[in-house]
Amino acid sequence: MWFEHFERFFDSYYFWRLLKNTIILNAYNLILFPLPIIFALSLNELRNGPFKKWSQTLTYAPHFISVVVVVGMLVAFLDPNTGIINHLIRWLGMDPIPFLTSPDWFRHVYVWSGQWQSLGWGTIIYLAALAGVNPELHEAAKVDGASRFQRIMRINLPSIMPTIVILFILNIGNFMQIGFEKVLLMQNNLNSETSDIIQTFVYETGILEGQYSFAAAIGLFESAINIVLLITVNQIARKVSENSLW
Amino acid sequence: MARFTLSDRAFDRLNTIFVLLVTLIIIYPVIFVVSASISDPHAVNTGKMWLWPVDITFDGFIRVFKNKAIWVGYRNTILYTFVGVCIHLFLLLPAAYALSRKELMAKKFFLWVILFTMLFNGGLIPTYLVVKNLHMVNTMWAIVIPGVVGAWSILVARSFFQQTYQNQLVEASKIDGASDFYLFLRVVLPLSLPIIAVMALFHAVALWNQYFSALIYLSDENLYPLQLILRQILILNEVSADSAASIAGAAQSFADQVKTASLVKYAVIIVSALPLLIVYPFLQRFFVKGVLIGSVKE
């Protein structure tokens, strides 16, 4: 009796679809975790000057655009008839792609538009960590004849490794619950095969249909997965690299 | 790595080109929206306009300014943001300051409780039920109160206080006979303007940009914040009737409506993001500072 709602959820035909979609979407996002690191390493190699400053200011900016506007821009840019992207695709001689109404494209659009928004902002912490790298290491490596690229890979990257590990753990901690508000905005009947995730399901059954207990149980299930993931990853990180949250 | 035998200068050039490319890709959609907002919608929809404005027109903005719903949304958003930020600071600063002082009783316990909310929460439905049972649904408070102070903000402000004061200042004032309240209001706060600005800015941006709590808690259109109006216009494609009706007496054809829709879309994005766009270049360093204080691990 106690676990009635959980059992109903686990036994339902949509359970595996929701779990699969949630995991794939978040894993896809997680795979792109190195991108801001690469961009930060690259920005760090620029000489201090207006170009560096401008590229930072411009790449940080999308972070402040609201999800509604981002999805609104996607709707406008990716429209099969009037969107600029499909004009480009037609110009290249291919058929227009209905990005926002196709289950095959949903994940790509979701994840890459997220990267567009967060890539620049994500470099801030890494840049600060890079500013703390001991310059003597670079001097010594130069004397030994190391190239720029070698010095980045052998000095800069290892120096910011603790920061990378901490941010990675924090990312895992949010594994199941990133960007639900954006998914909800991007979701429609045509792409629900891949865009139905646990949180949108909680919203539908709980808020829209009023099945509070059932939806709350599913939400709890998700929170529980999250905390288990966070603790596991933290333990692994502590063993492997001596960097951990606690 | 020995196969990368590019000379350092070649590396420098390639690296600059890489950063330039990334920057251009990131900024292109923004330029496109700005150009599209003042271009002829036909040119935009047929792909003729792809970078700079074509057949400049300010019709989109005129229609946005004539749209009553957008103005109501704008007013509501400003109100929610202002009230929200005030309550945020009122709760955040004393809490963070108290937690930064060594002599606070049961400090470990309080910190643990706050940290716990970062790791675990009841989720959407329990939060919704609490807000509903407190009769905050369909009021401004449903937008402002839940999430008014997050654990992250408290920890960031606390570590700022800890780094800045380290108790000497506090002890010096104590010897002078100042009470804790006097100390907090007259000594600590005036010296903490940078962190107050950072925290206020982050919270203001979050409130300005959020739509979800309005979506679930508000059903009265007169209370809708700007983001919900934007959602109707941009995503649900409901170009509100009154923007069409406001064009005095002109019977519109369907094609005209499509044109209006796309005109209004880009203009409304600009109008909604304008306050942020204007202040962002000047305040960027504050935002960066906020992230950095937050990342300091004790």
For residues A225, A29, A87, A185, the Cα torsion angle rounded to the nearest 10 degrees is: 30
Kindly list the domain boundaries of chain B, sorted by start residue: 1-57, 60-294
Picking from A121, A153, A227, the nearest residue to B119 by CB comes out as: A227
Write down the mean pLDDT value for chain A. Answer: 88
Please answer yes or no on whether B281 and A57 come within 8 Å at the CB atom.
yes
Residues in Cβ contact with B91 at an 8 Å cutoff, skipping those fewer than 6 apart: B148, B149
Distance from CA of B120 to the nearest CA of A (A): 6
Q: Is B290 helix (H, G, I), strand (E, B) or coil?
A: helix
Q: What is the DSSP letter of A198?
A: H
Planar angle of CA A78, A84, A89, nearest 5 degrees? 85
Ramachandran area for residue A93 (φ above 0: left; ψ -120 to 50: alpha; else beta): left
Give the global pTM: 0.88
Q: Is the pLDDT of residue B250 over 70?
A: no
Write down the mean pLDDT value for chain B. Answer: 84
Q: Is the pLDDT of residue A180 over 70?
A: yes
Range in A19-23, A57-61, A69-73, B52-56 with the lowest mean pLDDT? B52-56
Tell me what pLDDT residue B2 has: 42
Q: Which of A66, A82, A115 to mutate to test the interface with B (most CBs of B within 10 A)?
A: A66
Tell me what pLDDT residue A186 has: 93
Q: How far apart are CA B96 and CA B118, in angstroms?
A: 16
Q: What is the DSSP letter of B55?
A: S
A64 touches chain B (CB under 8 A): yes
Among candidate residues B22, B183, B35, B175, the one with its CA nearest the CA of residue B101 = B183
Distance from CA of B82 to the nearest CA of A (A): 18
Q: How far apart are CA B243 and CA B73, in angstroms?
A: 14
For residues A222 and B73, the model is more confident at B73
A215 touches chain B (CB under 8 A): yes
Confidence of residue A144 (pLDDT cuts 50, 70, 90): confident
Q: Which tokens in the block code for residue B137?
A: 């649904």
Mean pLDDT along residues B192-211: 90
Distance from CA of A185 to the nearest CA of B (A): 8
Residues in Cβ contact with B36 at an 8 Å cutoff, skipping those fewer than 6 apart: A76, B44, B49, B53, B266
Query: Tens digit of pLDDT for each residue in B50-98?
Result: 888 888 888 888 888 888 889 999 999 999 999 999 999 999 999 999 9
Q: Which residues on chain A are in Cβ contact (under 8 Å) with B284? A: 57, 60
B266 touches chain A (CB under 8 A): yes
Q: Is the pLDDT of residue A46 over 50?
A: yes
Mean pLDDT along residues B182-191: 85
Q: Is the pLDDT of residue A229 over 50?
A: yes
Q: Which residues on chain A are in Cβ contact (under 8 Å) with B237? A: 75
B284 touches chain A (CB under 8 A): yes
In angstroms, the Cα distances linking B149 to A98, B3, B86, B163 are 41, 52, 11, 21
Confidence of residue B297 (pLDDT cuts 50, 70, 90): very low
Reported ipTM: 0.86
Q: How far apart are CA B69 and CA B37, in angstroms?
A: 19
Q: How far apart are CA B102 and CA B229, in angstroms?
A: 47
Domain B60-294 CATH class label: mainly alpha
